[in-house]
Amino acid sequence: MLKTMDLPCGRELDFLHIPLVMAIVNCTEDSFYPESHNASAEEACERALRAEKDGAAIIDFGAESTRPGANYISEEEEIKRLIPALKLFRKNSNLPVSIDTRKYKVARYALDAGADIINDISALEDAPEIGSLCAEYGAGIVLMHKKGVPGNMQDKPSYRNVIQEITHYLTQAAKKAEADGIPPHRIILDPGIGFGKRQEDNLDLIAHFDSFVELGYPSLIALSRKSVIGEIIGRPVKERLAGTLSAEGYALCKGAHIIRAHDIPETVDFAKIFYALKNRE
């Protein structure tokens, strides 16, 4: 049973209580959900502090949009957008911080500035040296599956058996991270809902989320307001909260440990109710 994840500077994640909520804080104006945009370091820090007050267990700062069709930005631009917000938050909070990046230089700057986890959508493919970097700092890592890159990942993706293929991929990625020196309890697996997946693939990944939990690592579900929700309920991004919570609930029933979300008060309340009921079984 997962208990805690020790992180730099004495910070930790506690898996013994409610499912953990990871708050999305975008240091960019190019996210698929306009209401999550933050135009300045001050705005991003304010949103992060508000998320902490609302019960988030982790803040996930990101400065590069990875929505379908998005183009990658330079390391310099990502650092310029990200690091001031992170430093400002660190002056005001000791809450665990995750950094959504696939770039080595950005990861090192972020860890030097007080980050605890690197959330790598490329699962160490784009910058393999991030693994040893996280081991050096005692940091955690999120390994996510994707097919292609954001600019083309939705151009006719296909799988013979999506569960088997992604389970195998994440297993190999985790073994690589362990070989780099990251202990298993600091490796978080994310099947990558919406990243090079068809609608049926996304639904299979949620319905069979226990396949990833059974690998024995902490697991993360990230489907907040995504198109997989919109295609079912027929609503635009700003009207997908109820659908998101429903799908997250199913993933929690399958054992998910961390929910990555935009809507923190609602998601935290939802997680508390889930934990209270689950504890009565």
Sheet (strand 58-62) strand order: 187-190, 140-144, 117-120, 97-100, 58-62, 20-26, 258-261, 220-221
Q: Please give the positions annotated as active site.
A: 226, 260
Distance CA 209, CA 114 (A): 31
Taking the C-alpha atoms of 144, 150, 156 and 159 in order, what is their torsion angle to the nearest 10 degrees? -10
Structure tokens at 115: 């980050």
Task: Please give the angle made by the CA atoms of 8, 13 and 15, to the nearest 5 degrees.
Answer: 155
3-class secondary-structure state, position 226: coil
Which residues, 6+ apart, have CB-to-CB distance to 215 below 8 Å? 167, 170, 171, 174, 189
